[in-house]
Structure 1
Amino acid sequence: MTTSYEEIRVPVTGGGLAALRWPARDPGAPVVVALHGITANALSWGTVARLLDGRVTLVAPDLRGRGGSAGLPGPYGIAAHTDDTAALAEALGQDRVVLAGHSMGAFVAALAAVRHPGRFGELVLVDGGFGFPAPTHLSADELITAVIGPAMDRLSMTFPDRDAYRSFWRAHPAFGGDAWSPEVDAYIQRDLTGEEPAMRSGCRLEAVRTDGMGLFQDEVLAAVRELPQPATLLWAQRGLMNEEQGLYDESRLAAAGQPGTNVEAVRVEDVNHYTVLTGHKGAGEVAGALLRAASVTG
């Protein structure tokens, strides 16, 4: 299995965007650019990379304000990530790369495809991309809490060492049972920064807040319904805390305008918002969708 990667950095506004590159066995194989969620990092795609097994080149950036890109300055926001993604694709020297995104990354992918229609091929959206208008009765702080409340809390916490951070995540309802793996461990450890006994998440709070609010902007909400190319949405049966109600179901997708778009919606059973990407079953579905989008067989 191909699990090794190289770290690269490409020029974007304000500095260099960090990314991880899992190379294909065949140098001429298709390229997939994969975008992570709002408080995640590039290694959230590690299980998918293992299951792709070198059949495509997978490139996953640390989005601005996270991981190796934490030092990039603002402005943040979905549009800024879109520009960074286009710059990454251009730096890779590839035409029509397959574009994938999980959670917030799916919204970035959809907007990038609309803004740069000649740069990207088919899309694979993972439990994200279709949104809903902001409730008018909530303040900005209430709105961002409603979107990513527990994740926001983590950004203000400190941990005495890496084992404590590991224990924090292993107690998360979404990672119970057999959901833990070496790839999940590497992913959560990449998020950690600082020195003992006051280690913390490397995500910049300002970036997360700005991006969270950006998910309710009209242009961002409309992008997935305006895609010029085919896309697949893989949506998780269960939610962020492993609750029975996931982010989507058939009625929610109908309300968000999915029917009649270029997006085929596929339910993934027995996964939650995280394990649809990081778990073996979910990552297998994602890897299969990426290979189909890249027209790779065998």
Structure 2
Amino acid sequence: MNEPAELDLPVEGGTLRVLRFGEGPQTALAAHGITGSGMSFRAVARHLPDEWSLFAPDLRGRGGSADTPGPYGLDRHAGDLCRLAEHLGDGRPVALTGHSMGAYTALKAAARRPGLFNRLLLVDGGLPLPVPPGADPDAVLDATLGPALARLGRTYGSDEAYVDFFRAHPALGPHWNADIEAYVRYDVTGTPGARRSKVREEAVRHDGRDLLTSAGSFGAALTGLGVPARLLHAPLGLLGQEPPMLAASVVEDWTGGPGRLPAELVEGSNHYTILLGTAARTVAERFVALGG
């Protein structure tokens, strides 16, 4: 497939790097996960019909937007998505999706400015996460994100060493493909012999604390959502095994009844391969169908 065009589009206080996949007139906007980049939507974009263009920003503190100034936080990212939707839609609503933290960000954007969007697809995220009372959010992040956080403080002798780190990840290595490799190589930067991730750890920790302490705002957004929405969720989690990112009890609380959020379990996927594996076709198909 053709690699994406790279755009720098204006947001408050600077610009965001935005990856454009496709050349069609139908516009989609996609928000990535907490340590990811817009390249995480490469596989989904390939499975969209030719009349679509998918715009996937690197959120502040990540990818080509690593140097875009803060403050960080999900409200800030949601404001950026709204600004991009205004710019890209040119007076027409755009389709919106988000994965993991990006699902929470997309949910906030759709709740804030529903007129900017004609649909919302949440991918393995967007539902309020239960956090034990008194728990330290940073400790929860360390326990939950594991290898994803560990790589941010390290340097690597070469790009191949960085790729090898990801190949050893239990959720990615067994499913390795060209989309995963493109995602990993897009993330690497730094000087020869000291290569590192583009992602800023301070942005991840700020956004992670925000996500873990904002359950009430996500619940309110879901309850009052004014655009057609759907949830796709994976049966396996961040390490390619149970528990999933979204526990069955959490999904059951927010989906399945009259007036509730429609949901679908995407069998055979984990938290990452739901976007970067064969399940990407399902994500693309449901995204298109949601506007029908």
Name the TM-score class by shorter chain: over 0.9
Q: C-alpha displacement at 1:55, in angstroms?
A: 3.1
**Which one of the candidate residues 214, 217, 220 is aligned to 2:218?**
220
Equivalent position of 1:128 in the other structure:
125
Instruction: Work out the CA distance in 2 between the residues paired with 1:191 and 1:225.
Output: 36
Deviations 1:268-295 (A, max 9, x none): 0011000000002x10111101211344
**Whole-Å Cα distance in 1 between the matches of residues 250 and 137 of structure 2?**
23
Contact kept, 8 Å, 1:22 with 1:54, in 2: the verdict is no
Q: Which runs of 5+ in 2 are unaligned?
A: none
Q: Amino acid of the residue matched to residue 252 of structure 1?
A: V
* Counterpart residue type for residue 16 of structure 1: T
- Residue 173 in 1 paired to residue 170 in 2? yes
Name the structure 2 match of 1:13. Answer: 12
**Residue number in structure 2 paired with 1:81:** 77
Deviation at 1:190, TM superposition (A): 1.2
Checking the alignment, whether the CA contact within 8 Å between 2:228 and 2:291 is kept in structure 1 is no
Is the Cα–Cα contact under 8 Å of residues 127 and 250 in structure 2 kept in the other structure? no
User: What is the CA distance between 1:235 and its match in structure 2?
Assistant: 0.4
Partner of 1:142: 139
The alignment yields a C-alpha RMSD, in angstroms, of 1.6
- In structure 2, relative to structure 1, the CA distance for the partners of 1:262 and 1:120 (3 Å cut) is farther
- Counterparts of 1:1-298 in structure 2 under 5 Å? 3-24=2-23, 26=24, 29-92=25-88, 93-177=90-174, 179-215=175-211, 216-217=213-214, 218-255=216-253, 257-260=254-257, 261-280=259-278, 282-295=279-292
Alpha-carbon separation, structure 2, partners of 1:116 and 1:76: 19
* Cα distance per residue 1:249-278 (max 9 Å; x no partner): 5423124x3344552110000110000000
Question: In the aligned structure 1, how far is the partner of 2:55 from the partner of 2:239?
Answer: 28
* Distance (whole Å) between structure 2 residues aligned to residue 164 and residue 112 of structure 1: 37
SS in structure 1 at match of 2:194: coil
Distance of aligned partners of 1:139 and 1:248 in 2 relative to their CA distance in 1, 3 Å threshold: closer
Query: What is the CA deviation profile of residues 48-67 of structure 1, one whole-angstrom value per residue up to 9, with x for unaligned ones?
Result: 11111523111000001100
In structure 2, the CA distance between the partners of 1:79 and 1:169, relative to structure 1 (3 Å rule), is same
**1:273 is matched by which residue type in structure 2?**
H
Deviation per residue, 1:195-232 (Å, 9 max, x gap): 12111111111110110011121323432332112211
User: Are residues 184 and 53 of structure 1, via their aligned partners in 2, closer, same or farther at CA, if it must alter by over 3 Å?
Assistant: farther
Query: Given residue 62 of structure 1, which amino acid in structure 2 is its aligned partner?
Result: D
Aligned residues: 288
C-alpha distance in 2 between matches for 1:225 and 1:43: 31
Contact 1:45 1:278 (8 Å CA) reproduced:
yes
Deviates further, 78-87 or 284-293:
284-293
Letter matched to residue 126 of structure 2: G
Amino-acid identity (%): 43
| Distance (whole Å) between structure 2 residues aligned to residue 236 and residue 111 of structure 1 | 22
Which segments of 5 or more consecutive residues in structure 1 lack a partner in the other structure? Answer: none
Deviation at 1:14, TM superposition (A): 1.6
Q: Distance in 2 between matches of 1:54 and 1:20?
A: 17
1:145 partner letter: D
Structure 2 length as normaliser, TM-score? 0.93
Shift of 1:192: 0.9
Is the contact between residue 138 and residue 209 of structure 2 (CA under 8 Å) also seen in structure 1? no
1:22 positional shift: 1.5
Q: Retained in 2: the 8 A contact 1:39–1:208?
A: yes
Aligned counterparts of 2:178 and 2:43: Cα–Cα separation in 1: 9
Contact 2:145-2:238 at 8 Å conserved across structures = no
**In structure 2, C-alpha distance between the alignment counterparts of 1:222 and 1:211, rounded to whole Å:** 19
